[in-house]
Amino acid sequence: MARESSIAAGTVIRGRIQAESDLEVLGQVEGSISCKGALEVGEGALLKSSLEGRRVVVHGAVAGDIRASESLVLEPGARVVGDITAPSIGIRPGAMVRGHVHTGTAGAAPAAGRPQQAQADRPAARPAAAAKAAVVPERAAPKPSAEAPRVAGKPMAEQSRLAPKPAVVEAKIDPPKPRAVAGASPEATRRMPPAPVVPRTPSEGQKRSAGAKPEPQAAPSPVLPSLARRSSKTTRRSSGR
Amino acid sequence: MAATVIGQGITIEGEVTATDEVVVAGVIRGKLTAEGAVTIEAEGVVEADIGARSVSIGGSVTGNVTAAERVDLLGGGKLIGDVKAARLTIADGASFKGNVDMDV
């Protein structure tokens, strides 16, 4: 049966798809698709998954990274939010991309090397933005959005002197923010716990030191309580910072 | 026409939900639900519970099969699991291990 594999329009798949042959997707897939043949994402398709294929053609919407070992073509009407990697990439007029675009002969090596280069290009801006995103993910939503463009604006203006890179860098600045705020709420929730943990531990330490106070106070020696107070003050100061 | 075809060489691990017909010549592990007919061809391997309007099994199925209308176990077909359907046919040469509930 040389029938072509097809995920029809009304079909929803949650999970992993591995294809040794060609695959056409017109429905919805949440998970990942790995295809050793040609992978065609049809019009009306909605994929929340990473795609891998030899030749990938996209007419529909993809939220996730796309990696093609041979070629990738984004046809008119395609909407892609995610990084795209292929030796040859075609983006037709009318296709939308939001993410890092990477063309190159080798598939894996440059993909790992390039982001480091991009970080090295603007070492000050990237970690700062990343730190802000990590420390203040959702509590003060307006603040990072107000500050981030300024931070983002500076390197873009600096790098606009360099001819080809800004488009790539500009595209790359955008995705992390929506991912941190709206796109990937699990990421945000993962980041949330560490932030509260840092202030909590000193406060718990204060409580412990406060709880430890009565014992030395009850003890006759006057030296120990003063030490305990000092230590509690220092912990308060450190927590304040 | 708008059938979902899981061809040979395709492996799906997860949940498949279709509003129409599904033809399986590849491998599905997880769960398969279709509002239309499900056809498992001779090469098809399904390790999943199947819920559909009708199910035709020519390949290998491990899992419970529930059909609103009918289940046909074709010659060469193999089914390990319980069947719940209004109608059930088991062809000569088919293998079947499981319970049958025909809603009597």
B4, A15: Cβ pair inside 8 Å?
no
Q: What is the pLDDT of residue A194?
A: 46
The Cα A145–Cα A147 span in angstroms is 6
Strands B95-97 and B78-80: parallel
Q: Does A226 touch chain B (CB under 8 A)?
A: no
| Residue A142 resides in a domain | yes
Question: Residue A32: in which H helix or E strand, if any?
Answer: strand A28-35
Query: How sure is the predictor about A81, in pLDDT bands with cuts at 50, 70 and 90?
Result: very high
| Residue B104 resides in a domain | no
The Cα B76–Cα B70 span in angstroms is 18
Range A49-53, long-range pairs (CB < 8 A, 24+ positions) = A50/A82, A53/A23
Note down the domain range covering A101. 5-105
User: Does A36 score more than 70 pLDDT?
Assistant: yes
- Asked if A97 and A158 sit in the same domain, the reply is no
Q: Residue A128 carries which DSSP code?
A: H
Output the average pLDDT for chain A: 66
Full 3-state SS string of chain B: CCCEEECCCEEEEEEEEECCCEEECCEEEEEEEECCEEEECCCCEEEEEEEEEEEEECCEEECCEEEEEEEEECCCCEEECCEECCEEEECCCCEEECCEECCC
- B72 and B53 Cβ atoms separated by less than 8 Å: no
Question: Residue A173: in which H helix or E strand, if any?
Answer: helix A165-173
Domain total in chain B: 1
ipTM higher than the 0.90 cut: yes
Low-confidence spans in chain B with pLDDT less than 70: 1
Tokens of A158: 């600096």
User: Does A168 score more than 50 pLDDT?
Assistant: no
- Asked if A79 and A18 sit in the same domain, the reply is yes
pTM, entire model: 0.61
Domain total in chain A: 2
Average pLDDT over residues A1-6: 73
Task: Nearest chain A residue to B25 by CA: give it.
Answer: A1
| A219: Cβ contacts below 8 Å, ≥ 6 apart | none
User: Side chain identity at A114, as an amino acid letter?
Assistant: R
Choose, out of B5, B19, B31, the residue to mutate when testing the contact with A (most A CBs < 10 Å): B5
- Asked if A40 and A83 sit in the same domain, the reply is yes
pLDDT tens string A130-141: 444 444 444 444
Select from B3, B8, B20 the Cβ nearest to the Cβ of A21.
B8
| Residue B18 resides in a domain | yes
Q: How far is A12 from chain B (nearest CA, A)?
A: 5
| Residue B101 resides in a domain | no
